[in-house]
Structures are given as structure tokens and as C-alpha cells.
Amino acid sequence: MSRWLPLALMVLVPLAARADASGEIDWERRVLKATGQGAPDLNAPSIAVARLGAERTALETAQRNALETLQGAALENGGTVGALLQNDGALRSKVQAKLRAARAVKTHYYSDGGVSLNVEVPLDQLPAEIAGKLKAPAPIPPSSPGAGTK
């Protein structure tokens, strides 16, 4: 049994890491996008109350995912937004305020009262210290048809 554990971990850990990818930057549109989900409170007095709580949770999760995605973005000077925010509390507060102002652009309601929603924040609405210094990743060149074959 213990012999299969390392193999199972090698297979399952990458899947879990990919499942957490709930934010990205759309460099063509210059938009920070994130997703959040909220489960309903099963003890709520009605489905409407449960759904409101689920929406609130989904929005908070999406905003947190947007911050985490932004923190991983590269800057022109070679650092990351996360390192910049760690050293500048005032800037971090400004960014958090902008992300808290993000509203849902797409909402999906589940029959059990759960909610999934997407938020978008234009990069140009972020503080200038970040918006003007973000570095888009280098484009991946298309592979040629015969590449990798002998």
C-alpha cells in the first residue's frame, strides 16, 4: 500500500495545483480576471438568504484570488508585484481597495443556492506604481510542424 503512495501523490498534486488556478491576466485586453465560488449556508432561513451569503463569499474569494494573481505578476525591473506590495503597506492598501471595488461580470447560480462568479479589473485602474510597470510574459513562438520529429 505504501508503495503506491508516492505515485498517487505525483499524480494528484499537479491536479490540485491546477484546480486552484482561479485567476489570470488577459494581456491583450489588459484585464485582471479571477473566479470565486460560494456555498450556501444550509442553516439559512430561506434560499434567498443562503444565496446572498454565497454571493458575498464568492465575491470575497474572487477578490482574494485576483490579489494572489496580481502578486505573482512580473514587473519590468525583474521583481514581482508581491514583493513590491510586501515592502509598501500604503500601496498594498490602495491595491486592495481597487480590488474590493471589483464587481462580478458573470454570475452562475446553482440549484442548491451556491454561486460562482467572475470579476474583472482593468490593469489601468490599478495604482500607477503597478499598472505602468507590469511586464507581460514573452509570447510563446508557434512550434513548426516538423519540430521534435526525426
The pTM assigned to this predicted structure is 0.76
Question: Residue 23 — very low, low, confident or very high, per pLDDT cuts 50/70/90?
Answer: very high
Q: What confidence score (pLDDT) does residue 136 get?
A: 86
Boundaries of every domain in the chain: 22-131
Judge whether residue 138 has pLDDT over 50.
yes
Distance CA 15, CA 81 (A): 26
Q: What confidence score (pLDDT) does residue 9 get?
A: 39
Q: What is the dihedral of CA 76, 77, 80, 84, to 10 degrees?
A: -120
Distance CA 51, CA 109 (A): 8
Q: What confidence score (pLDDT) does residue 18 get?
A: 33
pLDDT, one tens digit per residue, over 48-80 is 899 999 999 999 999 999 999 999 999 999 899
